[in-house]
Amino acid sequence: MAEISGATFLDLAGLSDEEEALRTEVHRVAVEVMGPAARALDQMSPTERIAPGSPFFTVMATLKQLGYHRVFVRHDGEQGANQISPLAQSVVLEELGWGSLGLATAFLVDLLPMLSIANFGGDELKAELLDPWLDDESGRFHGCWAITEPDHGSDFLGLRDEASASFGRAQTVAEPVTGGWILHGQKSAWVSSAPIATHAAVHAQAGRDGNVSHSLFAVVDLSDPGVHRGPPADMMGVREDPQGELFFDGVFVPDRNVLVPPGPLYPAFVDQLLCLTSSVIANVAVGVARASFEEALRHARNRVQGGGPLVRHKNIQLSLYSMFEKVETARAYSRAALAHTQSSLPGSTPTATGASPRHARAAQVFAKRSAFEVAHEAVQVMGATGLSRDTLVEKLFRDARCLIVEDGTLEVLALDAARDLIDHYERDTYDLEEMMATW
């Protein structure tokens, strides 16, 4: 049983005492720190959200002080070692999503550059960037994932599609020079945390043939000469995490910062990276769904309509059941997908060769769709109250609507899963070397 704002709910996973204690701690942070900050940030202008003293920085510093960033990144020298189990990771991700989708997104994109360095970087880069980031307890480091461009969004996710060779030249290109690469171009206004980030995980096209699979993946210091930022975007939802453009005007990236060079490893790397991000986002989406369900349940218990509490009416009972069913189903599958991915990513264990793209993409699609459907139903249960800017469910609905677009639209993710299941349904293992050979 887990403590939830004075109530309890049954977790069918049967959490251990340690996992239950972790959930209680993260939920407390979600209630006391993330929730109030998210509501305040949601009402601010884009420039106010990134100004010194913004609640955004307070939350990021709190999460760093508690060491949550360290539990997802290998840093003890053991290949594939994690400090907590995949189930415990799912618990943390769900509670962060319950507290604030925007702040959870900021927390996750901060991880991506350093997680990549932990797995692909050399000792020099680890000493320069990874170790200080792991020791950070004030939020002075913050990462972002620079992948989307004005003319290229889901293109970068669809490398399994043979048509990727004809998508056109990317707007961020890398030219080889002695000792490294020079970046030119820009990333779109939808790069989460870009307005405040110190480092970015950047995808840049390395060829001029218009094939986005001919790219590299590098970590870029955003204080380097030639890096410029656009103004923060004013989004409908997920407003707690500032989003904005990045511009690269002759930015030098040394070879040691290029974690995945151009070649057959790049598309295979992106494929497996999306397995990880998909299964992670799925668990965060469960938190958004659960928050919406719990808001509707609380309202229906207290709102008197038609001679009694809303929960006495059969249509409301069916709505609440439908929401509950979606939350529980999404949670079970998202946890299974994350556990599979964490144990199957190349390098996670001595025998791991690759995670299943179709299962990871399906987890993200199902969980994000469920979060939107539950949030939609919560607004319906609450009626006009659910439309008020003074209620949490109105914000949850806007966030859930954004969720089914960000990190890949449901359609693009589903098509990528479909191509994988059509080609590989009968296989029960993946092989990174085989992926590299086929791309």
User: Do residues 111 and 225 both lie within one domain?
Assistant: no
Q: Mark whether 152 and 38 lie in a shared domain.
A: no
Q: Residue 157 belongs to a domain with what CATH number?
A: 2.40.110.10
Give the pLDDT confidence of 335-369 residue by residue, as tens digits: 999 999 999 998 888 888 899 999 999 999 999 99
Instruction: Check whether residue 176 and residue 128 sit in a common domain.
Output: no
Mode of pairing for the β-strands spanning 172-177 and 180-192 = antiparallel
> What pLDDT, in 10s, does the model give residues 188-200?
999 999 999 999 9
Q: Are residues 433 and 295 in the same domain?
A: yes
Residues 331, 280, 321, CA angle at the centre, nearest 5°? Answer: 20
Using CA atoms, how far residue 27 sits from 98, 100, 247, in Å, is 8, 11, 37
CA–CA distance, 220 with 239 (Å, rounded to integer): 25
Question: Helices 392-403 & 101-120, crossing angle to 10 degrees?
Answer: 40
Cα–Cα dist 310/317, whole Å: 8
Same domain membership, residue 317 and residue 424: yes
Of 142, 162, 193, which residue constitutes the final position of a domain?
142
CB atoms within 10 A of CB 318: 10
Q: Looking at the structure, tell me whether residues 77 and 173 fall in a common domain.
A: no
179 vs 195: CA distance, rounded Å: 29
Burial degree of 270 (CB within 10 A; 0-12, 13-18, 19+): buried
pLDDT at 2: 45
The pLDDT tens digits for 295-311 are 999 999 999 988 889 99
Pick the last residue of a domain from 226, 260, 294.
260
Percent share of the chain, pLDDT over 70 = 93
317 lies in the same domain as 415: yes
Domain of 401: which CATH number?
1.20.140.10
Weakest-pLDDT range from 47-51, 53-57, 327-331, 413-417: 413-417
* Mean local confidence (pLDDT), 30-41: 97
Do residue 91 and residue 125 come from a single domain? yes
- Same domain for 360 and 407? yes
The length of the chain in residues reads 439
Q: How many domains does the chain have?
A: 3
Domain boundary among 112, 127, 142: 142
Q: What is the mean pLDDT of residues 43-68?
A: 96
Query: Are 117 and 25 members of one domain?
Result: yes
Determine the structural domain holding residue 101 and report its residue range. Answer: 2-142
Torsion of CA 434, 430, 125, 261, to 10 degrees: 30
Residues 43 and 182 in one domain: no
Q: Are residues 157 and 18 in the same domain?
A: no
Kindly state the tokens that stand for 210. Answer: 């218009």
